[in-house]
A and B are shown apart, each in its own frame.
Chain A
Amino acid sequence: MNQTFPWLILFLPLIAAVGITLLTQRSKSLSAVLSIGAIAASFLLSLVLFMSLKGNIGLNETLAKSWLSVGNLQVDFGFKLDSLSLLMLLIVTGVGTAIHVYSWGYMHDDPSVSRYFASLSLFTFSMLGIVLSNNLVMMFIFWELVGLSSYLLIGFWYQKNSAADAAKKAFLTNRIGDFGFLMGIILIWALVGTVDFTRLQDAFRANPALLGTSATAAGLLIFCGAMGKSAQFPLHVWLPDAMEGPTPVSALIHAATMVAAGVYMLCRVFFLFSPTALEVIAWIGGLTSLMAALIAVQQQDIKRILAYSTLSQLGYMVMAVGLQGPAASMYHLTTHAFFKALLFLGAGSVIHAMHHEQNIWQMGNLKKKMPATYWTFLIGTLALCGVPPFSGFFSKDAILAVAWEHNSWLFCIALFVAFLTTFYMFRLFFVAFHGVGKSKSVDHAHESPSIMTTPLWLLAIPSVISGWLGVEHFVGKNFGMTGDHHLNFIEEIFYPFSHAPFAAMTGIMATIVGFSLAYALYSKAVVDPLPEKLHGLSRAMRNRFYWDEIFNGLIRITHEAAATLANGIDRWIIGGFFVKGLHGTTEFAGRALRLVQTGNIQTYALLLVAGLAVVLFLILH
């Protein structure tokens, strides 16, 4: 069973994708059935696999077939089943199934639904490939395929200029990260001789100084990939634009799973990073987290707020890895997947009801109109803001604890971000769901059908309870964390207070302050009061700190300029001066020589005599 299940889990979605593309494009419902069926099956199989393997401490199974074997480059197609991958399998397939079902309701009226489900299944296949892969090259391959799926899904409504642009931007930004990633992989292979995770880890255990002086460089290059995929500064610019895709896509890919792939990868190769590399990673994570939270404070589009929130939480996760807390990072990845997907699907429900209005200042009073959406959104918000006993409290506390232990500056930043998170989330909540209806669309709003609200309730459950399940300890087995496991249920709930009381208390305080401020400013607001109070800062936040404009300018003066220069040289110098010049010279020489052929006998006689004279001169001299 353990041998065949991973193959089925991985390939069922691919079969669905190919099947839909070739066979069922005309039939919306058949396509949906294929796609939902595949991922649901994968979820069930993952569950069974998890149950049968989880008790196994020191679990480390691999099944591998050789994919490419040339010289001393050996790339397998293989699976690595340990607590890290088993946990991630459940998240991807579980959240994925809920979102697939939701999509059927949300996308029902779209003419290209079959293409949507085919792309979604392709994405599932690619993401599961990243989770299961047992070596760097295989992970890179699926990494790129996930990028392709993201491109296809962001650009799903490709006839819209903004969507087509966003898809291209996402792919290209990710490719910049992949550039560093691939270089890192090649560097590691050249120094160690293998790309297999298990063999790499063993090599490192035997000789921690294996990479020598290149250790930090290799680590940071690998981190480039995570920067791209998990949208860390400066490669964060693609994620907000990715909201052009359908909302279920934003929930699945750009909140719960794909963007988490970067964090997952960092945890997978955690043993590679030198202390310097980890420090850099921590700071980039922390600063991304801060910047994104600040931007979220002044956004008006409900999806953009959630997008920047995702950016900020991803920053948290990356920072945790850098602070040597990969288990805490994976913990937050898990809880975040549930409540963020929930929030996005809730936002989708709102958008659906408001006939595609996304500006929160056009909403209001939705509590009465959409109770199911309201309550589940509240649960998601409380979880995100780290209110106990919701799941987010536990995972955020794990990260705060790690920060407090290792780096007080980052702890302060993380605390401030916790405050900001609560602030902007409740700003969103109050403006959209409370107060008075701020536009006509609110009058027509009504609750979404149950095919959309059921997944909301399903995701609300783990958003509440996943903090009580010992996730951190389960995944911590991978990182050599011992002790503290087999806690009972009550101990699990109070773990943050017993383990790191200062972090827990300050975290709760930050949340309370954020909530109060949001309540004061936004519970009855009809327009945003902040721009008046903060002037330029507010404008900068709303304009995303102008990073898009800065990067566009930079690209124009460097890369585009280089291309123009190259093109100019190609046309005028190589093609013009040299080739046409050669052509011209030959032609000129021909014309010059032609002048000798005058057709005039006197000329020929003259030349004959002159030539004779030269020859005589040369012979007699």
Chain B
Amino acid sequence: MSPLTYILGFPFLAALVILLIPKNYRFLIRSVALVGSFLSLVVAVSVFANFGSAPAIDGFKFQQMVPWIERAGISYHVGVDGINIGIILMAAVVAFAATAMAREIKSNEKEFYLLLMVMEGGILGAFVSLDLFLFYFFHELALVPTFIMIGIWGRGPDKNYATFNITIYLSLGALISLIGLIALYVQSGANSFDLIVLTRHIQQNPLTLASQQVIFPLLLFGFGILVSLWPFHTWAPLGYGAAPTSTAMLHAGVLKKFGLYGLIRVAMPLLPEGASTWLNVIAILALGNIVFCGWVAMRQRDLNLLIGNSSVAHMGFIFLGIASLTTVGVTGAVVVMIAHGFLAALAFGLNGYLYNQTKTLNIDELGGLLKKMPFIGTAMIMAMMAGCGLPGFANFAGEALVLFGSWKAFPVVTGIAIWGALVIGAVYMLRAVRNVLHGPDDPHWNEVKDAGLWPKIPFVLLIVALLTFGFVPRLLTEKIEPAVVELLKMANKNKPANPTVAVHGQISSENFQ
């Protein structure tokens, strides 16, 4: 029994138990949920810690395989390599933090925690899956509860519109990517959804250029919609603004990374020729995310909309790193995925706490809160600083890697992206701090209280994660880099070895290092 099964199993088990508890035993329901996600977290941390010493088969560790529908080649197959181990750790941390933040839910707790557990199990399952069918299946399992959660426990005047908007838009994206995945399955002729089998099969019989050029855009835009690729991004700020805190944390932090993971894991290595024609498009659209959505964020007066747009902007860096197809760039992309997961969870969590105290997130109405809430205020400043790429937080390491790695392939785009990262990000983040935390005392907010001991825990956890990987990014990159190198061998196989970097007068090829 692989420990990975425990990681996705504990939340599902917790959901089952919660189903049996009568609805008015609120404390018990919450405790079961917390225990479930905490156990999942513990296992995830231990897998992360033991990752280096575990044996690898076909490049993946901690595997477990249980055949399911043999005719169609579908099986329960889980495993980790350098790329998804960090994401799984991040997902488990964010899941626990999100569960902790669910204390704000005061009605129909049983249903909410049930849905939350299903969502957590689903997204953890998606990231550990090595079977493409279950990969998609778990994601949908995680997506559907968001509809109910935003619809019932959401807030704001746009709640209903946001609920339908996010659900239908994301379902559309998932549908397009499903078509792509099935097309891949059919065209490859491997008669298996298993990633390892598919990869081996495609390496020997690559798909024709014609089919790659159809399948890749399906996957790109399908997954792209799921990740709020520009211009398919408007669902995100709207949805996060209306969602309850736990849902926003889990969705923005973890679910959004699903599409990017799909691109890195499936689309780029298995469809290299199809991908190569789209790289420039991806880079330009990434710029749309970084700069356009950064500018939109600058004009927002609602904190959640601001963080939501900032979240969309950060996705641009990941796309840019992926499009660069260099070791440095793609490793950076994965690091940003992980770092941003922590950051989004922290930011939305803090906003949620603030909303509960002040009943508004309008920047113009808030003010002078740092004095009243030193802990939350400081945590918020840290989140803002991490969001604009301050070194010391994991986001800087990731963004720097992406920028260094993408320079060769897209110098102009990267140059503009640096502006987006350093200046645009700082503008809206610091304005938020200026208007919400700094400034004179506002008697309106005299009743506002700082976080007590228990509510502090999820925030401290997330900040520690950001700082740890910010000070020692090696913990992530030493795992990610080897896996990325393997992946790029497949993704770059048609590119001639480019003489890219002159080192002391000698030409060396950048791609194969």
Question: Which residues of A come within 8 Å of B, CB atoms?
Answer: 66-73, 137, 140-142, 144-145, 148, 155, 158-161, 164-165, 167-168, 171-172, 175-176, 178-179, 182-183, 186-187, 189-194, 203, 206-207, 559-560, 562-567, 569-570, 574-575, 578-579
Q: Are B404 and A67 neighbours in the complex by a CB distance under 8 Å? A: no
User: Which chain A residues border B401 with CB–CB below 8 Å?
Assistant: 68, 70, 73
Cα–Cα, bound, A344→B371 (Å): 29
Give chain B residues whose Cβ lies under 8 Å from the Cβ of A566.
292-293, 295-296, 299
The contact string, 1 if C-beta is below 8 Å from chain A, for chain B 475-513, is 001000100000000000000000001111100101001
Verify if B114 is at the interface (C-beta below 8 Å from A). no
A176 to B388, CA, bound (A): 13
Contact between B513 and A190 (Cβ–Cβ < 8 Å)?
A: no
A562 touches B430 (CB 8 A): no
Bound complex: CA A206 to CA B505 (Å): 10
3 tightest A-B CB contacts, nearest first: A71-B327, A164-B438, A566-B295
28 A-B contacts, Cβ less than 8 Å apart? A67-B474, A68-B473, A68-B477, A69-B474, A71-B327, A71-B481, A71-B510, A72-B328, A144-B390, A144-B391, A148-B390, A158-B437, A159-B368, A168-B433, A172-B430, A175-B423, A183-B415, A190-B407, A192-B503, A194-B503, A206-B504, A563-B295, A564-B299, A565-B295, A566-B293, A570-B234, A574-B234, A575-B234
Instruction: Given A161-B440, A171-B426, A182-B403, verify A72-B510 contact (CB < 8 Å).
Output: yes
Complexed CA–CA distance, A194 and B473 (Å): 19
Residues of B within 8 A of A148 (CB): 385, 390
Asked whether A563 lies within 8 Å of B327 as measured between CB atoms, the reply is: no
Docked CA distance A171–B474 (Å): 28
B361 to chain A, nearest CB (A): 18
The verdict on B400 contacting chain A, using a C-beta distance below 8 Å, is yes
Residues of B within 8 A of A203 (CB): 504
Contacts of A72 in B (CB 8 A): 328, 501, 503, 508, 510, 513
Closest to A169 in B: B430
Q: Is B54 an interface residue (CB 8 A)?
A: no
Write out, one digit per residue, whether chain B residues 272-294 have a CB within 8 A of any chain A CB (1) or not (0): 00000000000000000000110
Q: CB within 8 A of B407: which of A144, A187, A559, A563?
A: A187
Q: Is B434 in the interface zone, CB < 8 Å from A? A: yes
For the residues of B in contact with A, the DSSP-based class is: helix
| Partner pick for A183 among B298, B368, B418, B474, CB 8 A cutoff | B418
A579 with B423, Cβ < 8 A, contacts A145-B391, A159-B438, A187-B407 known = no
B368 and A175 form a contact (CB under 8 A): no
Are the C-beta atoms of B331 and A71 separated by less than 8 Å?
A: yes
Residues 144 to 165 of chain B near chain A (Cβ within 8 Å): 165
Of A71, A161, A179, the residue contacting B439 (CB under 8 A) is A161
Q: Which of A71, A140, A160 contacts B328 (CB 8 A)?
A: A71
Docked complex Cα distance between A164 and B432 (Å): 12
Instruction: Check A579 against B404 for contact (C-beta < 8 Å).
Output: no
A35 and B504 alpha carbons, distance in the complex (Å):
45
* Contact string against A for B residues 260-280, beta-carbon threshold 8 Å, 1 for contact and 0 otherwise: 000000000000000000000
Does B184 have its Cβ within 8 Å of any Cβ on chain A?
A: no
What are the residues of chain A within 8 A of B390 when measuring CB–CB? 144-145, 148
Q: How far is the CA of A218 from the CA of B501 in the complex (A)?
A: 16
| CB neighbours of B508 from chain A (8 A) | 72, 193
| A564 CB contacts on chain B under 8 angstroms | 299
Known contacts A148-B385, A176-B423, A579-B169; is-contact A186 B504 (Cβ 8 Å): no
Name the contact of B299 in the complex, choosing from A67, A165, A567 (C-beta under 8 A): A567
Q: Could you tell me if A71 and B513 are in contact, using CB atoms closer than 8 angstroms?
A: yes
B427 at the interface (CB under 8 A from A): yes
Q: How far is the CA of A71 from the CA of B415 in the complex (A)?
A: 21
A-side contacts of B438, CB under 8 Å: 155, 158-159, 164, 167
Q: Which residues of A contact B513 (CB under 8 A)?
A: 71-72
* B52 at the A interface (CB under 8 A): no
B439 touches A171 (CB 8 A): no
Interface centre among A187, A191, A560, A566 (most CB of B within 10 A): A566
Q: State whether A193 and B481 are in contact (beta carbons under 8 Å apart), knowing that A68-B474, A566-B295 are contacts in the complex.
A: no
Identify which of B293, B328, B388, B440 contacts A73 (C-beta below 8 A).
Answer: B328
Given A71-B481, A566-B295, verify A189-B418 contact (CB < 8 Å).
no
* Partner of B295 from A69, A179, A567 at Cβ < 8 Å: A567
* Interchain CA distance A72-B507 in the complex, whole Å: 13
For A137, list chain B residues within 8 Å (CB).
400
Closest residue of chain B to A140 (Cβ to Cβ) is B391
Known: A71-B513, A161-B439. A178 touches B371 (CB 8 A): no
Q: How far is the CA of A164 from the CA of B430 in the complex (A)?
A: 10
A71 x B430 contact (CB < 8 A) = no
Q: Take A137-B400, A159-B439 as given contacts and tell me if A579 and B234 are in contact as well, using a CB distance cutoff of 8 Å.
A: yes
In B436-482, the 8 Å CB interface with A consists of 437-441, 473-474, 477, 481
Chain A residues positioned under 8 Å from B295 (CB to CB): 562-563, 565-567
**Is B370 part of the binding interface, using a Cβ–Cβ cutoff of 8 Å?**
yes
Bound-state Cα–Cα, A569 to B299, Å: 12
Could you mark each residue 115-134 of chain B with 1 if its beta carbon is under 8 Å from any beta carbon of chain A, else 0? 00000000000000000000
